[in-house]
Chain A
Amino acid sequence: MEFEVLAKCPITRARVSRMKLPHGITMLPTFMPVATQAAIKGLTAHQVEALGITLILNNTYHLNLRPGTKILRDVGGAHRFQGWRHNLLTDSGGFQLVSLNKFTQITEEGALFASPFTGEPTMLTPEESISIQHAIGSDIMMQLDDVVHTLTVGPRVGEAMWRTIRWLDRCIDFHENSGRKNSQSLFAIVQGGIDPELRDQCLDEMVKRKDRVAGYAIGGLSGGEEKDTFWRIIKQCADKLPEDRPRYSMGIGFAEDLLVCVALGVDMADCVFPTRTARFGVALTFNGPLNIRLKKHATDLRPIDETCTCPTCTSGTSRAMLHHIVTLETAGAHALTQHNIVFQARVMGGARDAIMNGTFPTYLKTFFANYFGDTGYPEWCVNALRSVGVDLLEDRPHTKIIAGDATKWEYSDAA
């Protein structure tokens, strides 16, 4: 991997970088759409590429179950299997093990779980996780981490954090001995729950291993913790992680979360949210999400967003037409999926341009005014951005402030 920071925002911690991987160059900050099972819902790899996407995510846990490593090795990896020519990132499978299998047991050796096919006890070790990711052939691999639920407290959090560090060492050793060091890059995952002290210890240990890892992910968040806690941990990690390594915030997808994370110094994020919400009939826009299933869209002949560059909007698909097919025809889901992927890319592309031009604080203010202007700003966003020198309320002191998580949604009127 080649990683180069091209520009830094003079006010916030945001930066633009160029990340060169075996399957091309990805400009950061970026959002990665999720292709859990080697397909972004309903689309082909070529369609995703045409949307201007250079980096997607596959899930190791799922691809290990189906199609399995034998088939992936036979065809020469997941790129060829799904027809994807660009960069690919895989997680380690640890998160799915814990979230999808109730009876997973963690030992020092690895994670012991019952195979969903045969019920037989199966062990996923750090070495095995890397080996599966080698079969997949992803450009960026994640270490196996010991995942605990975000809201877990007590000694288990520290235990998991220290084990994650030991497992990182095992992943590094295995990967370095595999001969694939130049074709695949390994990222470490910072753990430590919502305890700043544990996070600090984890950061210290992992930064020590900097020469043997290509980048860092911030794990263990977006699992139900308070937003106020969330941003403080992100900030703590981003501040301490080395300047010359990409920083990846796992499981982040709401536009406001993305922009706050970018301002705090995060370069990459992923989430199933934009593609999942598309299948439920929600179109993301700069004025907030639209629930296309609502009756008010049934006769509206305007596209979702006249300024949008996606195939759905540029081909003139009206909200009324989408209302007619969404949730009933798979093609309706595809149309919204294409739009939402482009929306995420526009949010991040706009951030890149603004950082390059030195106007990122203004970009943030404009975004929040359009997106939350009529409903009120989430308090945590205001606080998070103040911590990096941007006061969203500077020119608009009378803005309504909403405490708590304040996600903006159009609820169904049971049309």
Chain B
Amino acid sequence: MAMMNAELKPRSSLIFSSSPSQSHATPLPHFGPRLGEVNVQRQEGAARIAIKTPGMMTATSRGVVPHLSRDHVRLTRAICWVHVPFETFLEHNPPLPITQPGPRPLHQFLGFSPADHVLSVSARDPFDGRDMPANNKDYVATYCIRGVRKLTPEVWAQYDAACNPDIITALSDTPFTSAPHSNKRTHKSLERSTAWLANLLHSVAARRREVGSDGEPLTGSLSNVLVHMAGGAVVQARKAFAEGLMEDLEEFKAVNPSPYRRLDDGVAGYVFDLVPLRAALSARSKAADEDLGDDADTLKPRGAINTLTPTSSADTSAMDPAALSEVLRASLQPLPTHKPRLVNSARSPHEMLRLVRDVGIDLFDAHWAQRAADIGVALDFAFPVALGDTQPVDARVAGSPRTKVRPGEKMDLGHNLYSGDYAHDHSRLAANFLDGRSHAQQTAEGSPDARPVCPCGACSPRSPGTHILHSALDRTSWEGQAGADTLEPPFMRSYVHHLLHTHEMSAHSLLVMHNLSVLDAFFVGIRSVLEHAGTEEFNRQVDLFLETYDEEMVLFDEAKVDWVQVEMARGKGRLAREKIKQAESSLGTSVDV
């Protein structure tokens, strides 16, 4: 059969296109910076959620954005695409989100707004690279607080159908056993990942054939399927996996009637999890080709995902950026260019910029920025690098001191607010951004500052527009009060410093809102340079950024040391609780009781 019946093909609710500002004649480049837009439109005629790319996704732990109450999530405009690792829900059978009634059970259960938030799910936390029992041909080993759970592709498809996320990543056989992996193991990994993707696509297609009570197809309840690009550090294997997605499915049709000509036709985008990839690359660069085989896959004691101590800098700088780009490009080479490419666990804005420039990655998770908030770091950087940032300035002149400059002349990406330096620093969190209130005042005075505003709940807090009334008399309290829903002064570094040292969880709430907003602004900057100045200028700005900001992230090591010291000062029980939390989840801190 030459062509499939077009009507059978599920209509995708996720549309990726080159940015509307660019001519439609311009195809998206294969490798190199791309401007685009992800549109999620669940029903014909419904409002779209548009996410401009390069852009970001917010990471979650146990289904929540760590440290943020639901009102703070709504307040943080940077939060739009939210990624939910599903494995924590496997501690219950059936998992709780699938028991939630309604058209969008996952949104409903987790409290995200269908009008504002795009939800994607993956089986595993992409940041969790700890050793796991081996997968086999029928299941992936996942981890929840009660231990290891086996997840089959059939069950994964059922969960998808029942909880109806916007986007789902097909199960992938990524080995979380000691690297390096044998050729045999790598080959199996490709085979299984391909079969599991096919399985999920069939399930989605089958649901497409079901119709609602009105006789219309249930397009509103179809998840878009992402595929994790398998093959580890082996360039040939990565290529082979991608080529497999493009092969005609003719031969399978007899057993498994497929609505797709090729698997790729059912795929909405490509995912790269950098944590296992880094492990594989570093094993490749170290080791000789030892054939360990599957028998060597044994369960090792699980260490912490996060350590309470600084990561050795040898570890962080070991990886060659060119090697990473090479393996990502190997996967993308055989594939069409018009689908979004997602990267999880990029560990610095430097790495993100290189991946935008060298590979053409479209979306990054914000794990790094969120983790910074856990350890007391307020991000303060911008792309393009602000004029004057490379010259020494009198810190006090700008009203908000800049980040530290390290001996190598490189600037910190943020402020370690644990440091005593901030006890008397009463300025807003970031020098690169104005607070909303100063901006409004300066604009009113006719002397606007060129710097952008950080719209976060820490830098641009607003007085509430409404108050809960608890008695008929309560209006009296609010009527006399000037300024409902007006801009309030920003929270100060000295206040967050105080909160960190007194174990007040509000410190992290403020920092998460801020750091997500700074990362969002970073992507706005990338898009703006690409749109208005072109690729050449973008490349020049990337070089300048890489030269200006410290990628070793000494700052983060210092913050971790201070964090642990403050925890220890609080006593053994406190430190023990924190250690448990850090072992269970790749984001967040323990509840201070």
Could you list which residues of chain A lie within 8 angstroms of chain B, going by C-beta atoms?
A: 6, 16, 18, 24-27, 37-44, 46-47, 49-52, 54, 62, 66-67, 71, 74-75, 80-83, 85-86, 276, 279-280, 298-299, 301, 309-312, 315-318, 320-321, 324-325, 327-335, 338, 342, 345-346, 348-350, 352-353, 356
Contact = CB atoms under 8 A, between A and B. Distances in A.
B509 A27 contact: no
B467 A49 contact: yes
Contacts of A349: 469-471, 474
Interface stretch (B106-114, B218-226, B520-528): B106-114
A71 B509 contact: no
Contacts of B464: 46, 49-50
Contacts of A62: 502
Which of A40, A49, A346, A353 has most B Cβ within 10 Å? A49
Contact of B99 (A81, A301, A342): A301
B477 A25 contact: yes
Contacts of B588: 329-330
Nearest to B506: A39
19 contacts: A18-B476, A41-B505, A44-B457, A46-B462, A47-B69, A52-B468, A52-B474, A81-B498, A298-B96, A321-B110, A325-B64, A327-B591, A329-B591, A330-B588, A330-B589, A331-B65, A334-B509, A345-B470, A356-B472
Contacts of B585: 328
Given A330-B589, A335-B69, A356-B472, A321 B109 contact: yes
B504 interface: yes
Contact of A334 (B145, B505, B581): B505
Contacts of B498: 37-38, 66-67, 71, 81
A332 B88 CA distance: 15
Nearest to A345: B470
B480 to A, nearest CB: 6
Size bracket of the B interface: 35 or more
Contacts of B424: 71, 74
Contacts of B471: 27, 349-350, 352-353, 356
B111 A330 contact: no
A67 B496 CA distance: 11
B506 A43 contact: yes
A44 B505 contact: no
Contacts of A350: 470-471
Nearest to A347: B470
A342 to B, nearest CB: 6
Contact of A329 (B66, B111, B472, B489): B66
A80 B494 CA distance: 12
A317 B70 contact: yes
A312 B70 contact: yes
Contacts of A312: 69-70
Given A301-B100, A330-B505, 17 more contacts: A24-B480, A24-B481, A25-B480, A27-B476, A38-B499, A38-B504, A41-B504, A42-B67, A44-B461, A44-B510, A81-B495, A310-B468, A318-B109, A328-B581, A349-B469, A352-B470, A353-B473
B473 A27 contact: yes
Given A51-B468, A318-B109, A83 B461 contact: yes
A50 B466 contact: yes
A312 B69 CA distance: 8
A71 B111 contact: no
Contacts of A338: 69
Nearest to B509: A42
Contacts of B71: 47, 50, 311, 315
Contact of A49 (B92, B100, B145, B463): B463
B505 A333 contact: yes
Nearest to B457: A44
The 7 closest A-B pairs by CB, nearest first: A349-B470, A50-B464, A52-B468, A349-B471, A42-B505, A352-B471, A37-B502
A75 B62 contact: no
Contact of A39 (B96, B474, B477, B499): B499
A276 B36 CA distance: 47
B262 interface: no
Given A41-B505, A46-B461, A71-B494, A356 B470 contact: no
B436 interface: no
Nearest to B469: A52
B473 A342 contact: no
Interface string B505-534: 110111000000000000000000000000
Contacts of B504: 37-39, 41-42
Nearest to A54: B477
B593 A348 contact: no
B92 A83 contact: no
Contact of B468 (A25, A50, A299, A318): A50
Given A47-B69, A310-B468, A331 B64 contact: yes
Contacts of A85: 463, 481, 488
A311 B111 CA distance: 11
B357 to A, nearest CB: 35
Interface in B563-592: 581, 584-585, 588-592
Nearest to B458: A44
A53 B145 CA distance: 37
A301 B471 CA distance: 29
Nearest to B498: A67
B372 to A, nearest CB: 16
B426 interface: yes
B59 interface: no
Interface in B51-95: 61-72, 88-89, 92
A299 B472 CA distance: 36
Contacts of A82: 495
Nearest to B508: A330
Given A37-B498, A44-B461, A342-B468, A331 B473 contact: no
B492 interface: yes
B159 interface: no
Given A24-B477, A27-B477, A51-B468, A324 B96 contact: yes
Nearest to B426: A75
B172 to A, nearest CB: 25
A325 B424 CA distance: 36
A316 B102 CA distance: 13
B15 interface: no
B31 interface: no
Contacts of A345: 468, 470
B305 to A, nearest CB: 14
A81 B584 CA distance: 34
B501 interface: yes
Contacts of B590: 330
B487 to A, nearest CB: 11
Contact of A348 (B461, B463, B470, B491): B470
B108 A309 contact: no
Contacts of B506: 39-44
Contacts of B63: 321, 324-325
B423 interface: yes
Contact of B591 (A67, A81, A301, A330): A330
B87 to A, nearest CB: 13
Which of B461, B462, B506 has most A Cβ within 10 Å? B506
Given A24-B481, A52-B469, A349-B471, A328 B584 contact: yes
A318 B474 CA distance: 29
A248 B312 CA distance: 55
A41 B592 contact: yes
Contacts of A26: 477
A80 B461 contact: no
A321 B476 contact: no
Contacts of A83: 461, 488-489, 491, 495
Contacts of A46: 457, 461-464, 488
Contacts of A276: 593
Nearest to B467: A52
B69 A334 contact: yes
Contacts of B109: 301, 318, 320-321
Nearest to B70: A315
